[in-house]
Amino acid sequence: MSSIKQIPVVEAKRTNPLARVFDDLVRFCRSRSLFILHYCTGCGAIELPPAMTSRFDMERLGIQPMVSPRQADILLITGYVSIKTLKRVILTYEQMGSPKYVIGICSCTVNGGMYWQSYATAKKLDEYMPVDLYIAGCMPRPEAVIEGLQQLMDRIHAGEANSWEDYYRNYDYYLGNQQKLFGEDWQTPTDVISEAKHYDLLSNGTLGDHTRLLEQHQKPLEALEMRLGHEQKEPAK
């Protein structure tokens, strides 16, 4: 199953010039202003404060640390990802607003790193969510982190960094891996399928047998719509 290639899909350029200029501006702003949510799963997190503070100052690149996934664009996963933490990482990833990017710092996210032999850590992060960029190194130095971030900024500016669409397009593949790891009744409170419909990113890879499994035991997740139901019901005692 892991044969799906990560073909960098370049965003189609829109026809009329005004829209194109607007798209350029938007891509430029997206690249120049990134909010990162660094999820300190492991030892790599200690590299981030020096990157943000006076010596390597990320703010000059327009990168600010943010607390809640809703506000963040980049999910920085720093260090080994144990199975228990992976559940929370997936939940946080799904709660982020797209276009969202995942950067795996430290070699533990790349191929399990020092803990390659451990039964408890995930070896291949991009099985469970699309990862844009890996920054190898058993705790890469801040220069490496910033170098990686700049590479990501160029990609965004060029418009190639939309691996987040891949999560919706091949949701079944990702869900399968997740269910393989966490068991059949694995479910996050975010309704990814309806979100896929909302952004019309529905493709053949989205719905499959894994999603059917999800449907069976999923607790209802549609949003509470404002109802003006006036039917004369027995008022609650």
Partner 1 sequence: MSATELLIELTLMPLVAFVVGMMMVLMMRRIAAKLQRRVGPPFFQPLYDIVKLHSKRTQVSHGLIHDIGIVMAMGGYIAAETLLPVPGMNGIAEKGGIITLLYLMMIPSLGLALGVGQCANPNGSIGIARALTAMLAYDIPLVIVVFGVAYAAGTTNLIDIIATQQAGGFETWGVTQMPLLAIAGLIAMHASLGKQPFEIYIAPAEIATGPMVEMGGKYLGGLFVMQCFQLYTTAVLYVSLFLGGGTTWFDFLLKSFLVLAIPMSIAYLFPRYRTEDLLRLMWKWPVMLGLIGIAFVI
Partner 2 sequence: MSKQITHWLDDLLAEIEGIVVRRKSSRRVRVDVPADALPALLELLQGRAGYIHLSAISCVDWIKEDEFELVYHVWSYESHSLVSAHIRIAREPGVYLSVYDLYQPAAFFERDIHEMYGIHFEGSPNMEKFILTEWDGPPPMRKEFDSEAYINEHLSWQEYNPEWLQELVAEGGGVIIPPEEQRFSQKKK
Partner 3 sequence: MMLTLLDELLLFSGATLLVALFIGRGLAAGWMVTILYGGQLLALLKMAVLGYGGGTIASSLSFEIMGQELSWRFDGLSWFFALITIGSALLSSWFSCGAWERSYIRQGGNIWLFHTAMALNVFTMLILLASGDLLSLFIGWELVSWAGFLLMVLAGGVATSAAMRYITYAMAGGMAIFGGLALIYTASGSLQLEAVTTAVEQMSGAKLWLLVILFGGGFGVKMGLMPFHLWQAPAYAETPGPGSAFLGAISSRMGLFAILLVLVKLFGIVNIESLKLPFTPIDARDLLAWIAVFTIILPTFTAMKQNDARHLLAWHGIGQGGYMLLGVVVADAMGGAGGLLHVFNHATYQAALFMAVTAVIYRTGTSDLNKLGGLVVRMPLSFVVLLIGIIGLAGLPPMNGFVSKWLVYRSLLNQGMPLLFLAAVIGTLGTILSVYKLIHNIFLGQLRVEHEHVSEAPWSMMIPMLILSAIIFVTGLLPGIPLEWVASALQTVGLPVPDHTLGGIESASGSLDMIWVIGVLFAGFGVGALVFYSAGRSKRVHQLDNYAGGHFLSADVRYQYSDNFYAGLMHLIGGWYRGSFLWLERSIRSLVEFLSLGMQGLYRRANAEFYLLTTALFVIAWVVI
Give yes or no for residue 11 binding partner 1 (CB under 8 A): no
Name the burial class of residue 187, with classes exposed (0-12), middle (13-18) and buried (19+) by CB atoms within 10 angstroms of its CB. middle
Question: Cα 174 to chain center, whole Å?
Answer: 12
Q: What is the footprint of partner 3 within residues 83-102 (CB under 8 A)?
A: 88, 91-92, 95
Interacting residue with partner 2 among 5, 55, 60, 84 (CB under 8 A): 84
Interacting residue with partner 3 among 195, 202, 205, 218 (CB under 8 A): 195
d(CA 182, CA 85): 12
Residue 123 contact among partner 1, partner 2, partner 3, none, beta carbon within 5 to 8 Å by kind: partner 2
**Half-sphere exposure for 235 (CA within 13 Å, toward CB):** 0
The kind and range of the H/E element at 206 are: none
Interacting residue with partner 3 among 1, 189, 204, 216 (CB under 8 A): 189
Q: What is the footprint of partner 3 within residues 200-219 (CB under 8 A)?
A: 219
What CA dihedral angle connects 75, 78, 83 and 88, to 10 degrees? -30
Nearer to partner 3, 129 or 146 (CB): 129
**Half-sphere exposure for 156 (CA within 13 Å, toward CB):** 26
Interface positions with partner 3 (CB under 8 A): 68-70, 88, 91-92, 95, 188-191, 194-195, 198, 219, 221-233, 235-237
